[in-house]
Structures are given as C-alpha cells and as structure tokens.
Structure 1
Amino acid sequence: MATTSISPVNLSLSRLEAMAESGYYNPYTIFDWPDSLPEDKPWMSEDLVTLAGTQAWGELTRQQQLALTRHEAVHFFSLNVHGIRELLSEVVLRIHTRVYEQASEFLHHFIGEENEHMWFFSTFCLRYGHKIYPPQPVLGSNATEDLGESAQELAIFARILIFEEIVDHFNAHMATDQALPEIARELNRVHHQDESRHVAFGRQIFTQLLEQVKENRPQDVPVLARYLDNYLDYSVRSLYNPAVYRDAGLPDPLGLRRRLLADPGRAQAHDQILNRTRKFLDRNGLTPTEAHA
C-alpha cells in the first residue's frame, strides 16, 4: 500500500489502549457453549428481523417466526465474519507504516480483538446453524478510483466504520434481550463492549483523513458523500438475504426480499439502524442530502 502523499495521522489513543488491556478476556474460555439452542425461543431479537414492522411478519405462523429468527441470527453473525475478514485485510496492510505509525500499538489490539470476534461468530454459525452464509456481492470500488489518495484511504476506513456502527446497533440491543439464549446475548454483549473502542478509533481516523481531503482536494468531498450514501444503502440491503427466507421455509424468497425493501414499514427500521452514522456524516459535511445534490 502506497501512502506517500498522506500525512501521518495524529491520534490520541492512550485511553483506548489502556481500556483494551484492562478489559482483555480469553474468548476461548469465557463463553459457555451449550450443545444446542432451544427452538421455542428466538435467537435474534424479533424487532430486529427484516420482516419486523411489516404485514408479512404478522402473516407468519409462530413456528415460522421463530425459524426466521434462527436463520437471521446465523446470517447476521455470518455478515460479521465476512465484514471482519475484510477490515482485517485492510488494517494489517497499514500497521507500522509511516502514516499509521502512531496508531500501530492500538492496531495490534484491534487486530487481535477482531480476529477473536471472527472466531466466536463463526463458532456460533457452525455449531448452531451448521453453516456460514456466503458473502454477498460487494459494492463496486470504481466510484472511488478517480479520488485522491487521502480520499481513497478515507473511503476504506469509512466502510470499516459504517460496518462497525451498524452491527453495534444490533449488538447493543440483543445484549440485553432476555428472550434470547444466553450465548447469543453474551456474544452480542462482548462484541458491543469491544466495538465501542473500535468505533471511537474509527471516528478519529475518519476525521483526520477527512481534514486532509478538505485541505488538499476539496473537490473529492461530494464524490465521497455520494459513495458513502450508496454504501449505507448497500449495507442495509445486505441484511435482506433470500437464502435466509428459503431456509426458514418462507415462499418466494426473492420476491419477498423485493417486497420488504419497498415496504414503508421498513423505512423506520432503516432510519434507526443508520441514525448514528448519518448524524456523524452530517457533522462532517457528508450528508445524504449533499450526496444526492
């Protein structure tokens, strides 16, 4: 990775490093993995499934609703596995480089924690769902290929940040949902605990790189705004997987996905999922309104 035209980032990470060290846990011993999970209770919060708030949810039998929560839980954790693998591949390339030299100590914690997250999410998927759902097609990168170096770098860390903030929305909710099996709550709780540091780090990186973009190539800002707005939409749409609906025994999985994405009942859920990230982008002059201008 060539980053010769990007100035070194100047971050305040001592507090995050201390929190990572003091909060360290052994993921291979901390969890109590039951042999199986009950099928008469949801594995994912019912108000977070992709049919929540729609007429389609009410038309399901209770058995179908519970089956959907099981497969959506496995799909959500599968999305985490794939997202973590992507972000790790990017972060490993940057540790101990000139631009990120000051962040390298924290990046060691980050890489270790994310690798452990990928392990326990994949363990849940394979142990209880007997599969990891394949990754969905990625959003094309051609929209950023004409950007300057700082803007391209920002796009990478922005994707990581968006991924982390979206999954943390789900983690924070499910960590306290007493209807879920204990192992599901615990995985979400531990991930939420770690992600709070990762999001704080990601926002620092984002802000620093955006300052460089605004100073050196301000014409890249509206292009970034459009790209990130598209990425928010792509991220939400990735939650809707026809394979999940098929595995849950729901008819016409592809048609169901299309109807759900067009259902006004899902708009409020999308706003809740993206609210924190959109506010952050807005404060930094990268709002969806500007993106469509």
Structure 2
Amino acid sequence: MTTTPVREEPTDHPVPRDALGVLKDREQVAERLLESSRRHSFDPDTELDWDAPLEEGKWFWPPELVSLYDTPLWKRMSEEQRVELSRHEAAALASLGIWFEIILMQLLTRHIYDKSPTSAHVRYALTEIADECRHSMMFARMIEKGGAPTYRVRPLHHNKARLLKSISTTPGSFTATLLGEEILDWMQRLTFPDERVQPLVRGVTRIHVIEEARHVRYAREELRRQMVSCPRWEAELTRIMSGEAARVFSISFVNPEVYTNVGLDRREAVAQVRASGHRREVMQTGAKRLTDFLDEIGLLRGTGRKLWKKSGLLP
C-alpha cells in the first residue's frame, strides 16, 4: 500500500509530530476494506442455526466476563444462578450493542453527507452501515432466542446520545465508534472459541468479530487523519466528549436490572461489582488497545483524561 506524507500541521497543533506517523491513503484503505467485505461478509439469518435448541447448562457469556465473577456474592450463588445471570448479561450486552450501532450508523451518515458518493471512502461507509443493520437484527434475534428481556440504557444516557449525534465533531464521532466497538470486540474474541458457551452465542460473536475488524480499521485510520488536520478547539472538544462517552459507556456496560431479574439484591450486586478488582481489570484490559491508540494520537489529555480515569477504563 502506498502512503502519503502527513500534511504540515500548524505550529500550535495539539498533536505532537512524533505521534502522527504516516497517514495511509484514504481511498486505498477503503478499497481494501471493500474487498475484504466482498470476501468475508455474512448473512446471520442463513449462517446461523436459529432453530437449534439451546444446550442445557451451557453459558451465554464466559463466566470470567460476567460482572459478578469472583465477588463474595458470586461465591454464594449456585451454578444454575450463575448461568442464568450470564443469560441476562448477554441479553443486556446485545441490547447495548444495538443502541450503540444505531448511534454509529447515524454518525457515519453525518460523516459522509458532504462527501462524494462515488468515492471508495463513502462506499465503504455505506457497506459498514449495512453490516451494522445486520448486526443489530442479529443481536435482537439472539435476545429473543435466549428468552431474556431487552435491556434499555438509562433515559438520561439515551437522551445524552441524542445530543452526541447532533453536535459531535467528526473526530468525536470516530472516537465514539471505537469506544462502542473495541471493548465488546475484545470480549467477543474470548467468547466465540469458548466451548463452554452456547453455540448460537459463539456463532453470533464470531460473525461480529470478523466484520467489526474492518470497522475498527476504518475508524482508526480516519480518526488519525482527523486529529492531524482538525483545529485546536475541535481536538479539545473531542477529548472532553470522548471522556464523557467513556464514562457513560462504563456505567451502561452492565444493566442493574439483570440482578433483580435473577433474584439478587440489586444494591448489593452493584456495590460488589464496583468494588471488584477482577471486574476493573477486565474492563481496563478490554479497553487497553483503544486507550493506547487514543493516547498515541493525543486524545487522552487534560479534562478528557480525567473523565477517562473516572470511567474506570483507564488505570
């Protein structure tokens, strides 16, 4: 792949030159992603066996990734209750995934609104939107098959997302895209090869991991490009908005209603999750690849960094 040199940034540009590296050609990146999409895209309706019965005793999420794992409450729970909690948490994560993907689709359409519809960059964005439509339908069908309810994010966070979709900067949109994709992707990479987990859940996560790898590449390349050229005010606003998005994301990652629905004391469960060193390590490990990248391109600074630390995703 050929590359183009980084454009000369203003002397007061917020991102240091040694973090900028070399930008890959936008159209060539998109062409490669389009070719990968042609070779490795899936129709979940036909790819997965939705009629097969769920397997008795199998988990819906790896136990080490269940929020209460290794807490005092977890140690008091029966194996059946632990598996049941995994069923509800898998549904809550799928519900969160649908919410995020609807947000991301709207951010992508905003990004391409003024760009040439014949460019490979726009064609790939439209391809990604089509992927996200299939993923959202796949997650919804998995929730229904598992028999757990759909879990909604808090009304406050739901409405904050309306604001994000309206005022987000372009780099802010791609930061939100990566936040919504990379931590869940890390968890799913542990899930689809795990034979303790329901085959349907493994199939869903496998499809999602393969197709999301392209989405992450697209977002990373464009975010790096945007941080080179955006003005100082936009970079600073992006830092603050991304930190707030990280805080909301970390709160939303486990819906407290799951504890009530499996017969646990909700307050006790939430308190133990917040105090859990294992859970903190899981979330920070899942976010590390992303936070390392954001730090490299100059996004984890000032107030934004403080918000990322408050989210618990950054040590």
- 1:112-131 mapped onto 2 (5 Å cutoff): 112-131=130-149
Seen in structure 2, the aligned counterparts of structure 1 residues 34 and 168 have a Cα distance that, compared at 3 Å, is same
Structure 1 residue ranges without an equivalent (≥5): 1-8
Structure 2 counterpart of 1:185, one-letter code: R
The whole-number CA distance in structure 2 between the counterparts of 1:99 and 1:53 is: 52
Residue range with higher mean Cα deviation, 157-166 or 35-44: 35-44
Structure 2 counterpart of 1:237, one-letter code: I
Residue 242 (str. 1) matches residue 256 (str. 2):
yes
The whole-number CA distance in structure 1 between the counterparts of 2:225 and 2:250 is: 26
The whole-number CA distance in structure 2 between the counterparts of 1:141 and 1:134 is: 13
- 1:106-117 mapped onto 2 (5 Å cutoff): 106-117=124-135
Please state how far the C-alpha of 1:88 moved relative to its aligned partner: 1.4
Partner of 1:267: 280
Residue 188 (str. 1) matches residue 205 (str. 2):
yes
Please state how far the C-alpha of 1:238 moved relative to its aligned partner: 1.1
Partner of 1:17: 34
Partner of 2:157: 138
Partner of 1:79: 96
Superposition RMSD in Å:
2.6
Residue 257 (str. 1) matches residue 270 (str. 2):
yes
Confirm or deny: 8 A CA contact 2:243 2:304 kept in the other structure: yes
Structure 1 counterpart of 2:254, one-letter code: Y
Confirm or deny: 8 A CA contact 2:67 2:273 kept in the other structure: yes
Please state how far the C-alpha of 1:130 moved relative to its aligned partner: 4.6
Q: Deviations over 1:224-253 (max 9, x none)?
A: 3233233223212212211111111112x1
Residue 37 (str. 1) matches residue 54 (str. 2):
yes
Match of 2:173 among 150, 153, 156: 156
Structure 2 counterpart of 1:187, one-letter code: V
Seen in structure 2, the aligned counterparts of structure 1 residues 226 and 91 have a Cα distance that, compared at 3 Å, is closer
Structure 1 counterpart of 2:218, one-letter code: F
Confirm or deny: 8 A CA contact 2:68 2:272 kept in the other structure: no
The whole-number CA distance in structure 2 between the counterparts of 1:133 and 1:144 is: 21
Structure 2 counterpart of 1:257, one-letter code: V
Match of 1:138, SS state, is: helix
Confirm or deny: 8 A CA contact 2:179 2:246 kept in the other structure: yes
Q: Which runs of 4+ in 1 moved over 6 A?
A: 141-145
The whole-number CA distance in structure 2 between the counterparts of 1:194 and 1:142 is: 26
Structure-2-length-normalised TM-score: 0.79
The whole-number CA distance in structure 2 between the counterparts of 1:288 and 1:59 is: 42
Partner of 2:44: 27
Structure 2 residue ranges without an equivalent (≥5): 1-24, 307-315
Structure 1 counterpart of 2:137, one-letter code: W
Structure 2 counterpart of 1:229, one-letter code: G
The count of residues paired between Structure 1 and Structure 2 equals 277
Structure 1 counterpart of 2:139, one-letter code: F
Structure 1 counterpart of 2:157, one-letter code: V
